[in-house]
Amino acid sequence: NTEGIFRVTGSDKNIRTLELHMSQSNYLYLQTVTTPHTVTNYWKRVLAHMKEPLIPFNFYCHFEKIGEMTHENADHQEQSIRQVLRLNIKFLLNALPEINFKTLKFHVEFFRDVVSHEPINKMTAYNMAVTVGPNIFRPQRNTKKDILNVGIFYDLLIKMI
């Protein structure tokens, strides 16, 4: 219920200190953290620096294709087309490695909870997608197309939330 959660930057010094304690399995240190911005920025940093993102590299292009189809005619899609796209997204999610699926599911449920407090924290599904989406959907190598298509991944995460 903190305004700007996930958007406001925490103190880099505090984030690095938290990172050090977490790397040493000193989880009790979390009880001393006084601002949620430190924790959310640490969380985003962990996601950004994972060897492979929650949506594995070999799934990126498949989600991109579905996102492009969803994005192309968003205003003119019939209910049946939207349903097919939702089923394709669900199929891909279920095809993820189990650990990725369960971790992504946990994140999405948490994001839903954050968004449910939007009147207080100002975090809409779009804001959530913009702040964490690039760390969940990440190509192995960035291209111009990836930069131009970033919105399709926001839309996919919004649909999940």
Q: Which tens digits make up the pLDDT trace of 10-24?
A: 999 999 999 999 999
> What number of other Cβ atoms are within 10 A of residue 63's Cβ?
20
- pTM for the whole structure: 0.87
pLDDT for residue 77 is more than 70: no
* Confidence at residue 149, expressed as pLDDT on a 0 to 100 scale: 86
Q: Is 71 exposed, middle or buried (0-12, 13-18, 19+ CB in 10 A)?
A: middle
pLDDT of 76: 60
Which among 56, 23, 47, 46 is positioned nearest to 139, based on CA atoms? 56
- Given pLDDT bands bounded at 50, 70 and 90, which one contains residue 66? confident
Q: In the chain, pLDDT over 90 holds for what percent of residues?
A: 75
> What torsion do the CA atoms of 56, 60, 62, 63 make, to the nearest 10 degrees?
100
Instruction: Identify whether the C-beta of residue 106 lies closer than 8 Å to the C-beta of residue 121.
Output: no
Res. 78: pLDDT tops 90: no
| pLDDT tops 80 at residue 1 | no
Check residue 8 and give its pLDDT: 92
Q: In this predicted model, what pLDDT tens digit does every residue of 114-149 receive, in sequence order?
A: 999 999 999 999 999 999 999 999 999 989 988 888
Which amino acid type is present at position 25? Answer: S
Residue 75 reports pLDDT greater than 70: no
Half-sphere exposure of 41 (CA within 13 A, CB side): 19
- The yes-or-no verdict on residue 73 having pLDDT over 80 is no
**Arithmetic mean of pLDDT over the chain:** 91
For a pLDDT cut of 70, what percent of the chain falls above it? 95
* pLDDT over 90 (residue 81): no
